[in-house]
Amino acid sequence: MTVLGWVEDGQRRLQQAIDALPPTAVAEPSALPGWTRGHLLTHLARNADALVNLLTWARTGIPTPMYTSPDQRATDIEAGAGRPLDEQRTDVRESAARFAEAAEALTDDAWSATVTSGQGREIPASEVLWLRAREVWIHLVDLRVGVGMDALPPDLAWALVRDVAGWMSARVAPDIGAELTAEGHGTVVLGTPSPSAGTVSGPPHALAAWLTGRGSTEELRGELPKLPRWM
């Protein structure tokens, strides 16, 4: 499945989960500390719009950052978190449609254009699809609707392992290192490679759950190094 396919499949699963929630659920806690489901749903909608800005940048060549100010993300989430569930459902659905439309409008050349992520990294526009796929699937789990990390397509889960391990490798202590392996997917090095580095193995979803702090480690084998908190 392509990365865009992951986005579409995750959005479909997300919308089904939201549509099944009772009205009172919007004010109940999500899996993210301090956030209700309303915070999480608003974040998902505003994230779609912020990533549309990057796709617009790629299409037009006019710099269009994800957010107009460092505070906009948090302000928008707080402003929308308390809305009724029906309004939240519509917002998530319509913002996802805007993202899909913006992606459809990009040419092959535009996908290779350079834009700047919310963390200040210069990335090709094609990476925006991954940012959205990651956001939708992880926050589907965070919504607390009975969906775990084992719902992630294995190739997507492995892509998440590579992504998060790469981010963490620059942040773990110098003496921390491990090889992460999943049958049929290969090996990813976490931290500083060394001959004495241990191996942590298991299915892609279990490795992704451990790295992102979203699940138990029962399916993993090996000595697990201490990890920094992922964003």
Helix (H) or strand (E) holding 161: helix 154-169
Judge whether 220 lies within some domain. no
Judge whether 229 lies within some domain. no
Q: Please name the amino acid found at residue 216.
A: S
Domains: count for the chain: 2
Judge whether 222 lies within some domain. no
pLDDT digits (tens, 9 = 90+) for 81-102: 999 999 999 999 999 999 999 9
Q: Could you report how far apart the first and last alpha carbons of the chain are, in Å?
A: 26
Q: Please name the amino acid found at residue 95.
A: S
3-state secondary structure of 36: strand
Full residue range of the structural domain in which residue 88 is found: 3-147
CA distance 186 to 206: 15
Query: What would the mean pLDDT of 47-54 be, rounded to a whole number?
Result: 98
**pTM exceeds 0.85 for this model:** yes
Residue 223, pLDDT above cutoff 80? yes
Amino acid 192: pLDDT: 79
92 shares its domain with 161: no
165 shares its domain with 124: no
Closest CA to 47 of 133, 106, 109, 147: 133
Judge whether 223 lies within some domain. no
Judge whether 78 lies within some domain. yes
Amino acid 23: pLDDT: 96
pLDDT digits (tens, 9 = 90+) for 114-153: 999 988 899 999 999 999 999 999 999 999 999 999 999 9
Domain containing residue 9: CATH number: 1.20.120.450
How does the average pLDDT of the chain come out, rounded? 94
Q: Please name the amino acid found at residue 120.
A: G
Amino acid 196: pLDDT: 67
pLDDT digits (tens, 9 = 90+) for 161-197: 999 999 998 887 777 789 999 989 999 999 876 666 7
159 shares its domain with 142: no
Residue 147 near residue 17 (C-beta atoms within 8 A): yes
Q: Who contacts 108 (Cβ-Cβ below 8 Å, separation ≥6)?
A: none
Confidence tier at 1 by pLDDT (50, 70, 90)? low
135 shares its domain with 172: no
Judge whether 116 lies within some domain. yes
CA distance 76 to 202: 38
81 shares its domain with 37: yes
Q: What is the CA radius of gyration of the chain?
A: 18
